[in-house]
Amino acid sequence: MTFGRSGAASVVLNVGGARYSLSRELLKDFPLRRVSRLHGCRSERDVLEVCDDYDRERNEYFFDRHSEAFGFILLYVRGHGKLRFAPRMCELSFYNEMIYWGLEGAHLEYCCQRRLDDRMSDTYTFYSADEPGALGRDEVRPGGAEAAPSRRWLERMRRTFEEPTSSLAAQILASVSVVFVIVSMVVLCASTLPDWRAAAADNRSLDDRSRYSAGPGREPSGIIEAICIGWFTAECIVRFIVSKNKFTHLSVHLVTAGLIKSMEEPG
């Protein structure tokens, strides 16, 4: 690096008022492309193509960017954990900061990647619905008026079922699902106990041995398990309808159903 104050062993990055000192050797191979580009600058014009301003006396480079986002990015490139969104910051704004410094969406933690995909999908749907004039004022986009609300509804339903923290309804739905899972597991485990089987045998007639048969002699455990199965079936159908990758969703549920069946088989 030939540009800068002669004899200075380090440079200072000023990002939104937060100052960071880096050695010239570290600057050359710095993981962030925009920062490492400073090492190849040969003139003030080259420097101003990389940053917003420069103080030659203090050897300080100014970047008019979000300081908190850069702090999270800097922790990530230094190996302190995985890259996650900064709190109280829009996912799209943080992603713009990542692009500016030279990172991509693949550097994000998986859960943050999903949040980013959802936010970008919502944004695309919003602008697709509010800007139908892309094809002209008098032209109508095929299915545009009906497809946009449908996509928004499916996206909201998908987030409700797959992201328990996305809304109050999602939290309630997740809690109800957990309750059904616990009840189903308790009934399944209790039905294997000898005392439970003996009591069930005493309450059944010889002609009414099916757990799911109707009638006054039906076992309470069979009723509870039938309700649980009905809930799981309805939830599986709705999840399949709103899922983005239906093949993967169906494969996962088939494997899960096979495991449950193998657990229920005696021996």
How are beta strands 60-63 and 10-15 bridged, if at all?
A: parallel
pLDDT in tens, 167-211: 788 888 888 888 988 988 888 887 777 766 665 555 555 445 544
pLDDT at 147: 43
d(CA 134, CA 22): 47
pLDDT at 247: 60
- Does 38 have pLDDT greater than 80? yes
Closest CA to 69 of 40, 42, 98: 98
pLDDT band at 72 (very low <50, low <70, confident <90, very high): very high
pLDDT in tens, 228-266: 888 888 888 887 787 766 665 555 555 455 545 554 555
pLDDT at 216: 45
pLDDT in tens, 134-164: 444 344 344 444 445 566 677 778 777 777 7
- HEC assignment per residue over 71-114: HHHHHHHCCCCCECCCCCCCHHHHHHHHHHHCCCHHHECHHHHH
d(CA 111, CA 99): 19
How are beta strands 18-23 and 53-55 bridged, if at all?
A: unpaired
Helix or strand run (H / E) with residue 132:
none
pLDDT band at 71 (very low <50, low <70, confident <90, very high): very high
pLDDT at 131: 47
Q: Which residue type, as a one-letter code, is found at position 34?
A: R
Q: What is the CA radius of gyration of the chain?
A: 30
